[in-house]
Structure 1
């Protein structure tokens, strides 16, 4: 497989509170993570970086353990729960960091199987045969309102409370994590991204750029550049993984 990643502070924010980790695509574990932190006094930056580093280290350190070899979703869950506990503990120790947290969306790929861990409103998409499927559910107030029919998807686009998330790592002692798994196919493209991308670009823009035939690195950079062209109102991060591509 081939991979690429890009991040940018955007045009408005004073600090990049996004963090990410991107494997080379050739070594095990094949791991990809995006996180979008929240909180003042550098809290968002700390929360996202701690979450990514903790999960990366936990998965790399425990990948070969028998109990996790037979249950990769348990590996992801335990890694995310450890990150949650560490971030929450840091926020309790320092009043300036109280309330900090982070979204986190991660992909672990083993042969043709994709394992997903997710909390918050960062997203993962699967592009296959020209079609795009969202693999994660937004844990946000607006997503809840749309789901229960209180507002339409169109009304949600410019809702004043669009940025309120209902789940995150580090904001409580327990984290409610979404886990999923599916089989990948040769030619699939995965996109992991923070909401700085999806709030700026519509799905047609994303599909068009991801279907360009360029390298994953060029696609990642093009997505970030286009988000900034459309206003760059937030930090933006993208990871692109092309499955079945040799180096």
Structure 2
């Protein structure tokens, strides 16, 4: 399994409030997380960093290779809910962090399957069998309006409130985590990203990069980031790619 990840402040923002981390454990198990923070001065980057740090702390006390399939759900939900507790507590005790929060999308990837936990609008995609599919569902106002037929997909793409979240990590004492199973096989690719990529680069453009035969995984990560910047770079951009390959080389 090979992993590459990159994060960039973009062309407009002064601070990168995205955080990401990814790793291969025991040569067979991929772990990754992307968090896109929000809040007042510095609060967004604090929230996203706390989320990633807490996820890693929970992970450090767990041997993911020994988790049964049903235990994987429990683990990823527990890790994300623990991060929610940490961020919410920090925001509650410090006025400068009032109402800070973050999106989160995290995964555990095993040799033939995996599990994803997420809150917010950072996304997970999979390229498998020649098709590119979004695995997560955005927790946004615009997605709710689209699902209920109140606006079209075209209107959603340019809606003035498309960044309004209906669910975030750390803003409330209790939050619901969506947990998704996926199957994958050799040569499949998983993509995790913040909306700085998905709002600027179409699914078709992302698929074209991911399935390209003339680039390695690190080059593909760089290319996706570059495309978001060329499209305007309106937001922080974070990209994580996991390639189901025998080679375990990691780029970060």
Say which SS state the counterpart of residue 247 (structure 2) adopts.
Answer: coil
* TM score, norm. by length of structure 1: 0.95
Once the two structures are TM-superposed, the CA of residue 71 in structure 1 deviates from its matched residue by 0.6
Partner of 2:223: 222
Q: Deviations over 1:87-110 (max 9, x none)?
A: 000001111111100000011012
* TM score, norm. by length of structure 2: 0.93
Describe how 1:9-158 pairs up with structure 2 within 5 A. 9-24=9-24, 26-27=26-27, 30-63=30-63, 71-158=71-158
Once the two structures are TM-superposed, the CA of residue 165 in structure 1 deviates from its matched residue by 0.6
Q: Are the equivalent residues in 2 in contact too, given 1:63–1:69 (CA < 8 A)?
A: no
Once the two structures are TM-superposed, the CA of residue 212 in structure 1 deviates from its matched residue by 1.4
Cα distance change, pair 65–210 in 1 and its aligned pair in 2 (3 A) = closer
Partner of 1:183: 183
Once the two structures are TM-superposed, the CA of residue 125 in structure 1 deviates from its matched residue by 0.4
Structure 2, unmatched stretches of 5+, are none
Q: Are the equivalent residues in 2 in contact too, given 1:38–1:45 (CA < 8 A)?
A: yes
Say which SS state the counterpart of residue 5 (structure 1) adopts.
Answer: strand
Once the two structures are TM-superposed, the CA of residue 24 in structure 1 deviates from its matched residue by 3.6
Say which SS state the counterpart of residue 37 (structure 2) adopts.
Answer: strand
Say which SS state the counterpart of residue 7 (structure 1) adopts.
Answer: strand
Once the two structures are TM-superposed, the CA of residue 30 in structure 1 deviates from its matched residue by 2.5
- Any runs of at least 4 consecutive aligned residues in structure 1 with deviations exceeding 2 A, and if so which? 24-30, 62-70, 244-247
Cα distance change, pair 160–70 in 1 and its aligned pair in 2 (3 A) = closer
Structure 1, unmatched stretches of 5+, are none
Say which SS state the counterpart of residue 237 (structure 1) adopts.
Answer: strand
What RMSD in Å do the two structures reach over aligned CA positions? Answer: 1.7
Say which SS state the counterpart of residue 61 (structure 2) adopts.
Answer: helix
Q: Are the equivalent residues in 2 in contact too, given 1:29–1:63 (CA < 8 A)?
A: no
Once the two structures are TM-superposed, the CA of residue 111 in structure 1 deviates from its matched residue by 2.5
Distance 1:29 1:61 in 2: 16
Cα distance change, pair 176–189 in 1 and its aligned pair in 2 (3 A) = same
Once the two structures are TM-superposed, the CA of residue 3 in structure 1 deviates from its matched residue by 1.2
Distance 2:68 2:46 in 1: 28
Once the two structures are TM-superposed, the CA of residue 66 in structure 1 deviates from its matched residue by 7.3
